Amino acid sequence: MSETAKWYVVHTYSGYENKVATTLQTVVENRKFQDLIQEIRVPTETVTEITDTGKRKEVERKIYPGYVLIKMIMTNETWYIVRNTRGCTGFVGPESKPVPLTEDEVSRLGVEIHQIEVDYQVGDSVKVIEGPLEGFIGIVSEIELDKNKVNVNVSMFGRETPVELELDQVVMLG
């Protein structure tokens, strides 16, 4: 038995993802299992669709239809609760033996997003505090929060050079 919670993938009947998630959440709350089953997620994304009439509308779509992600400590009891939830067909793994996601898979799936807040915006002067351009000063030309990137125009050898950096590699001047 592991004492730290890991992310597991559970297979569900198609269209039952939200039902499985809410049923599990209710069971967890009723049995006071919040320390064992810590998070239940149905990963979704917001997509803009163009209707037949040419109108745009925002639609929330499941990224992995038929799957629910659960952060839990695996015990016989938690396995039994998840496995016997209506609409759940089992854990993903060989012979339905639960295999936790690796750290790399968790970050690639975007399950745990570590949001970085920045105090600078487009047009601000920033200083590079990390990497090969440490100490250089530049002007922010674009910020891509979803990709954790910032584009900065740095003056090198008398020329403006666009550089792509991670959000936490620069700080606001001043």
| DSSP letters spanning 68-109 | EEEEE---HHHHHHHHTSTTEEEESSGGG---PPPHHHHHHH
Residue 117 within any structural domain of the chain: no
pTM, whole model, 2 decimals?
0.61
Residue 119 within any structural domain of the chain: no
Same domain, 19 and 83: yes
Residue 20 within any structural domain of the chain: yes
Q: How many domains does the chain have?
A: 2
In this prediction, residue 51 carries a pLDDT of: 77
Quickly count: other Cβ atoms within 10 Å of residue 152's Cβ: 26
Same domain, 136 and 168: yes
Quickly count: other Cβ atoms within 10 Å of residue 7's Cβ: 20
Give me the domain span that covers residue 62: 6-109
In this prediction, residue 49 carries a pLDDT of: 79
Place of tokens 């854990």: 91
Q: Strand pairing of 125-128 and 170-172?
A: antiparallel
In this prediction, residue 112 carries a pLDDT of: 59
Each residue's pLDDT tens digit, 123-141: 999 999 988 999 999 999 9
Residue 22 within any structural domain of the chain: yes
Query: Using CA atoms, how far apart are residues 73 and 5, in angstroms rounded to an integer?
Result: 4
Mean pLDDT of the chain: 87
Residue 47 within any structural domain of the chain: yes
Same domain, 15 and 94: yes
Same domain, 92 and 168: no
Each residue's pLDDT tens digit, 5-47: 899 999 999 899 999 999 999 999 999 999 999 999 998 887 7
Query: 55-87: buried (b, 16+ CB within 10 Å) or exposed (e) per residue?
Result: eeeeeeebeeeebbbbbbbbeeebeebbeebeb
